[in-house]
Amino acid sequence: MESKPLKSSIDEIDLRLLDLLQADASVANQDLAAAVGVSPATALRRVRRLTDAGLIERRIAILAADKVGGLQALVEVQLDRQGAEHLDAFEAIAVVDAAVQQCWRTTPGPDFVLVLWVADMAAYNALVQRLFTQNANVRNVKTFFATRRAKFEPRIDVGALRAIDSGSRAP
């Protein structure tokens, strides 16, 4: 994945706000402001600026997969033709499917890695038909069903962001 340096307008307070919001996006603005040592108006303005700049994509609730049930799968997809139009076409189909939680273009190896959640094996078989069997450009599919999730942390390490912004590498 391509990394872009942070804009020089992102300072330590912004990074602390981002870190806190990653831990709990439902925190009240007053509590957020107090945690970073600014006024509530300043915190609100900064969070809006970070959102408008695209650093905060959205605020969501993450469900406990072990409590919800269903099947989680990681799927490697290799296409027959890898021209940009073919990659774009498969990606366009995959990203609109509700069962696809994540869609990554990868290299080397498979062209895509998908993270899926389906209710049961029947739902997985229906997805296979929709995304893979009916697509003449799909050459190979390898699915790995999760038996246990040891870690799931969607948070981006703010310490690493500091290192990227300063042009150095994190340890």
Are 12-61 and 65-145 equal in CATH topology? no
Closest to 124 in 3D by CA, of 146, 106, 154: 146
Q: In this structure, are strands 100-105 and 112-118 parallel, antiparallel, or unpaired?
A: antiparallel
> Is the pTM for the entire model greater than 0.85?
no
**Which residue spans within the chain are E strands per DSSP?**
71-79, 100-105, 112-118, 138-145
Over 70: is that where the pLDDT of 4 sits? no
What is the fold, at CATH topology level, of the domain defined by 65-145? Answer: Alpha-Beta Plaits (3.30.70)
Side by side, the strands of the sheet bearing 138-145 are 100-105, 112-118, 71-79, 138-145
Q: What is 12-61's CATH topology?
A: Arc Repressor Mutant, subunit A (1.10.10)
Give 88-143 pLDDT, tens digit per residue. 999 999 999 999 999 999 999 999 999 999 999 999 999 999 999 999 999 999 99
The token pair at 141 is 């599919």
Which sequence spans correspond to the domains of the chain? 12-61, 65-145
Q: What is the pLDDT of residues 39-61, one digit of tens each?
A: 999 999 999 999 999 999 999 99
Q: What are the pLDDT digits (tens) for 69-88?
A: 999 999 999 999 999 999 99
